[in-house]
Amino acid sequence: MASGFFAILDDIAALMDDVSVTAKIAAKNTAGILGDDLAVNAEKATGFLSSRELPVLWAITKGSFINKIIIVPIALLLNAFFPIAIKVILVLGGFFLAYEGVEKIIEYFFHRQKTGDKVIAETKQDDSDAEKTKVKSAVMTDFILSIEIVIIALGSVLEESLTIQILTVSVIALLATIGVYGIVAIIVRMDDAGYKLIKRSGDKGFFASIGHLLVKSLPIIIRILAVVGTIALILVSGGIFVHNIEFLHHILPNIATLVKELLFGLVAGLIVVAIVKAVTTIFGSLKKSH
């Protein structure tokens, strides 16, 4: 009886060793998209009143966990019975990400708010409807990025047994959520940590200097993340198109992959923005006519 119990423990240990190895490979393969995920979600988790930052981030994190719970089993089932569906979902998600990225660029250059309007907008960020809207947008973006993370992780262990596939993909999905949103939480609370250091040190000495550095650094980091996050959305979408649409994969072979992905992401985003604009204009005209 005891020997059987220890044999089971030995099997579990061996399985965990295998999962550890495959998880490291999957983590390496998903590192790029995780970096993009961090930049995108850090940008989306900011712009709220200080008292609402962590509650909003927690709401997005819970949404991310639910996304993973939905995506992991569906990805495993589709991979087993209907693998083409994964590509279709990825490509549709790519169009959504491209749209979000290009829309941000258009908004910045052509519809930028005046300083007074910006203050009013920021003041209104504590409005529950505005908060819910931004959380939904962040969760939807996380959903698309999570699909790619899960698919890439799954692609790293296709030759392994189903058990190892399930465990490896689940580990990566869990680490992606905890790691990304844990870092985002640290970033958005930098200023509060800085103010506490300044207060406790009496605004004197080394810790006060660190506090001032944290407070001054946060706006700069947020601006950088806003730019990086927008570029990441377009690059990720372009990468989805290049790697999942055979025709695009072979176009412009002499151009660097990064440039090609950026180009395809921009073009796709502009197309979707134009379609959305046309549809909203038509519906707006119909409403006015009635």
Could you state, in order of their start, the residue ranges of all structural domains in the chain? 2-233
pLDDT of residue 147: 83
pLDDT of residue 48: 65
Residue ranges of the chain whose pLDDT lies below 70: 1-18, 27-33, 35-36, 43-51, 111-127, 290
Look at residues 108, 95, 26, 31 and name the one whose alpha carbon lies nearest to residue 269.
Answer: 95
With a pLDDT cut of 90, the percent of the chain lying above it is 7
pLDDT of residue 266: 94
pLDDT of residue 18: 64
Angle CA 120–122–125, to nearest 5? 110
d(CA 220, CA 228): 12
